[in-house]
Structure 1
Amino acid sequence: MKYQTRRPAIILLADGTIFHGKSVGNKEATSFGEVCFNTGMTGYQEIFTDPSYFGQLMVTTNAHIGNYGATNDETESDTVKISGLICRNFSYTMSRKDAEESLESFLDSSNLFAISDVDTRALVAHIRDNGAMNAVISTDVDNIQGLKEKLKKIPNMAGLELASKVSTKEPYFFGDENASIKVAALDIGIKRNILRNLAKRDVYIKVFPYDTSYEEMKSWNPDGYFLSNGPGDPEPLTNAIQVAKDIINADEPLFGICLGHQVIALAKGISTYKMHNGHRGINHPIKNVVTGKGEITSQNHGFAINKEEAAAHPDVEITHYHLNDDTVAGIKIKGKNCFSVQYHPEASPGPNDATYLFDQFIENIKKVTV
């Protein structure tokens, strides 16, 4: 049995705390990243392939991971983006009829190191109380001091620009070229389901690399613009911030999600900050201030925009709040055709309460094109 050949492994946190586990498979490996946790009960494949998680060691709070296998339909990018997986129970067998391969096979093909048999409840409680921090997972259990020295050299997520690591290298198209609406998307870590949600609303999308200028995007003559989700600190994204400024100044239709939301806020002079441990899960409660309704949402972010600055800004209206901690979850720019949200209306994984935001974006485009 595979469990008999697994190697002892550790999680070493930047504060010196150590948790123990076992390697998934008989691997000798070491991986570094910022440790964070996701509370979703399902959707592990979408989480692992979400570009917003680039460079992070993912702790899954659901006790069983891998039990329904993997399928090509549930990837959000071409490759696994997390730097490592930490779980309680890893299932080497799958029980879903539609699964194309086991999760072990899927992770092996991506050369991703995973460890299981970890007390994830204790680990999550530690992160929750002490904040997200860098960590290392390794089977080199007898070299604690050496791992500590290497861990000290890993850069912190604050100030780290990662969009360039996950963005497309060349522009590409998605959807029906005969669609009635054209949208130019700036890829700073875009998920496939965002493109699917736009395409099924009669939108043809051209996806541009992270460092593309507004002028180059505009030369395609789009009807609207989109700023995607993505990993890392938004403040170093000077080009994306300038693009947002240019689009807003031109009063073109603009929609931003997650990192794109933060970029739009920075374009209006609202600062961002690194959160204690972020929001990562598929059941986060949001209040829509405009409608008064609540939404259950999918979220994945470690940074947020400054609430006081947003509330005091004469050009900004706060449209959504996170009900757990009252952080800003959505804004719109007064007098401009621009809005953004801090969460993921495209879900994948997660609920579909917020898909109306894509319809809102389409309506905003039609107001100026019809």
Structure 2
Amino acid sequence: MAEFLASRGALVLEDGRIFRGEPFGAEVDAEGEAVFTTSMVGYQEIATDPSFYGQLVCLTYPLIGNYGVNAEDDQSRRPWVAGLIVREYCDEPSHWRATGTLAEYLRRHGIPALHSVDTRALTRHIRRHGAMRALLVSDRAGRSDEELIERARRAWTPGEHEVVSTVTTPEPQVIDGPGPHVVVLDCGLKEGIISSLKRRGARITVVPVTTPVSEILALAPDGVVTSPGPGDPAQAEAAMETVQGILGAGVPFLGICLGHQLLARAIGAETRRLKFGHRGGNHPVKDLQTGVVRITSQNHGYYVDAGSVPVAQGWRVSQVSLNDGTVEGLEHVSLPFFSIQYHPEGSPGPLDSQGVFDRFLDRVRAAGSRREAPVTTGTRIGGVQE
């Protein structure tokens, strides 16, 4: 216990709990939402996952930094975590691909981190009391606990703001390929999704989340993927309306994580906040049509309310979590629209769900190049015009 009391840094939670630790990375303060992830590998992929934007992430795996960092493992243009909290940090990595240390990497991007934290106790606390506002301080000198707790209670968190426009690509990107043309609406895109589509030959156009529906449809997509991303889906109203427009045009659609939640809201379903979120690479999901169970990678703090899904309008829950029964997939019974709550690209995490991309492209090819003009009259069926 003495080692924690003597530590220079601390993670201060809004409920008054303080976890001591030693700083590494940038020695600055950071505000955010305290969460944990159970992934055993992939700390660099976690840091560069835009879905972690504004979050102070506790890594439950105890040894971090042992294989260093390298440019190939980045999942986006920069790290998005507000800070990292780990039990044991290794500053002498041993791996043939390493080009530097995690501490150097975080310092370069101005992100603070703590090691020698009792991450087991922190994780148990978050599980018991829920994800919450927090303040990470690299040096407590000259500041009282009361002062730090008061700052933690006022900390900025991503769930209270529209944040997808912060992490989206600043301009469109085109990746050539021989296959169908897939437009990706970037709400917080990971390179693993692009790689998964490229391996299957797709021609890809990545567009910012702020792109109007008319411009997306003008690209003549054979299919549209809406990516994962950070924050509360209820705050991403403009992105939800974009999804509504894509569905109304009848373009084959795949929503991933936040894209799944935006689809749900676009068809009239509701989303709610999880107590402490699903974050890690070991979440079992059952396909209700086939009975197959897959281990999935997840990173989200909100879920779709199963009771609000408009079943009478042709929508159904297709997959569920075996941990807590929450919705893990939606699909329309006759139209080429479906979504998943987990990350099929598995960066980091298992690759059990790579078949999601095959299923999507099969639907795209089945739909062919035929595109109906957007319907402007008729009865609205769960976000789709008929």
Asked if Structure 1 and Structure 2 have the same fold, meaning a TM-score greater than 0.5 normalized by the shorter chain, the answer is yes
- Paired residue for 1:218? 217
1:347 aligns to 2:346 (yes or no): yes
1:8 aligns to 2:11 (yes or no): no
Report if aligned partners of 2:31, 2:156 keep a CA contact under 8 Å in 1.
Answer: no
- Paired residue for 2:152? 151
Higher mean Cα deviation, 43-52 or 247-256? 247-256
Q: Which amino acid aligns with 1:8?
A: R
Q: How far does residue 154 in structure 1 lie from its aligned partner after superposition? A: 2.6
Change (3 A) 1:178 1:12: closer
Q: How does 1:104-115 map to 2 (within 5 A)?
A: 104-115=103-114
Q: How far does residue 313 in structure 1 lie from its aligned partner after superposition? A: 5.0
Q: How far does residue 152 in structure 1 lie from its aligned partner after superposition? A: 3.1
Report if aligned partners of 1:7, 1:139 keep a CA contact under 8 Å in 2.
Answer: no
Q: Which amino acid aligns with 1:169?
A: P
Q: How does 1:262-301 map to 2 (within 5 A)?
A: 262-301=261-300
TM-score by length of 2: 0.91
Q: How far does residue 153 in structure 1 lie from its aligned partner after superposition? A: 2.9
Higher mean Cα deviation, 312-321 or 206-215? 312-321
Residues 165-220 of structure 1 show CA distances to partners (whole Å, capped at 9, x for unaligned) of: 1001111113xx24221111111101111011011111111111111111101111
CA distance in 1, matches of 2:333, 2:300: 25
Report if aligned partners of 1:33, 1:154 keep a CA contact under 8 Å in 2.
Answer: yes
Higher mean Cα deviation, 316-325 or 148-157? 148-157
Change (3 A) 1:128 1:202: same
- Paired residue for 1:122? 121
1:23 aligns to 2:42 (yes or no): no
Backbone CA RMSD of aligned residues? 1.7
- Paired residue for 2:55? 56
Q: How far does residue 151 in structure 1 lie from its aligned partner after superposition? A: 2.7
CA distance in 1, matches of 2:269, 2:41: 34
Change (3 A) 1:216 1:311: closer
CA distance in 2, matches of 1:205, 1:314: 31
Q: Which amino acid aligns with 1:301?
A: H
Report if aligned partners of 1:7, 1:28 keep a CA contact under 8 Å in 2.
Answer: no
Higher mean Cα deviation, 254-263 or 159-168? 159-168
Report if aligned partners of 1:285, 1:297 keep a CA contact under 8 Å in 2.
Answer: yes
Report if aligned partners of 2:14, 2:150 keep a CA contact under 8 Å in 1.
Answer: no
Change (3 A) 1:269 1:364: same
SS in 1 for 2:309: helix
Q: How does 1:68-217 map to 2 (within 5 A)?
A: 68-141=67-140, 142-174=143-175, 177-217=176-216
SS in 1 for 2:204: strand
Report if aligned partners of 1:158, 1:274 keep a CA contact under 8 Å in 2.
Answer: no
CA distance in 1, matches of 2:354, 2:179: 20
CA distance in 1, matches of 2:113, 2:138: 10
Q: Give the total of aligned pairs.
A: 363
Residues 325-364 of structure 1 show CA distances to partners (whole Å, capped at 9, x for unaligned) of: 0000001023221000000000011111100000001000
Change (3 A) 1:151 1:313: farther
- Paired residue for 1:335? 334
Report if aligned partners of 1:171, 1:208 keep a CA contact under 8 Å in 2.
Answer: yes
CA distance in 2, matches of 1:113, 1:22: 11
Report if aligned partners of 2:254, 2:337 keep a CA contact under 8 Å in 1.
Answer: yes
TM-score by length of 1: 0.94
Q: Which amino acid aligns with 2:297?
A: S
CA distance in 1, matches of 2:10, 2:237: 38
- Paired residue for 1:240? 239
Q: Which amino acid aligns with 2:241?
A: Q
- Paired residue for 1:36? 35
Q: How far does residue 7 in structure 1 lie from its aligned partner after superposition? A: 6.2
Q: How far does residue 155 in structure 1 lie from its aligned partner after superposition? A: 3.8
Q: Which amino acid aligns with 2:19?
A: F
Report if aligned partners of 2:329, 2:338 keep a CA contact under 8 Å in 1.
Answer: yes
Report if aligned partners of 1:159, 1:235 keep a CA contact under 8 Å in 2.
Answer: no
Q: Which amino acid aligns with 2:21?
A: G
CA distance in 2, matches of 1:187, 1:156: 21
1:229 aligns to 2:228 (yes or no): yes
Report if aligned partners of 2:7, 2:20 keep a CA contact under 8 Å in 1.
Answer: no
Residues 251-291 of structure 1 show CA distances to partners (whole Å, capped at 9, x for unaligned) of: 21000100000000000000101100000000100001121
Higher mean Cα deviation, 336-345 or 203-212? 203-212
Q: Which runs of 4+ in 1 moved over 3 A?
A: 155-159, 311-314
Q: How far does residue 314 in structure 1 lie from its aligned partner after superposition? A: 3.4
Q: How far does residue 84 in structure 1 lie from its aligned partner after superposition? A: 0.3
Q: Which amino acid aligns with 2:10?
A: I
Report if aligned partners of 1:39, 1:60 keep a CA contact under 8 Å in 2.
Answer: yes
Change (3 A) 1:214 1:136: same
Report if aligned partners of 2:314, 2:332 keep a CA contact under 8 Å in 1.
Answer: yes
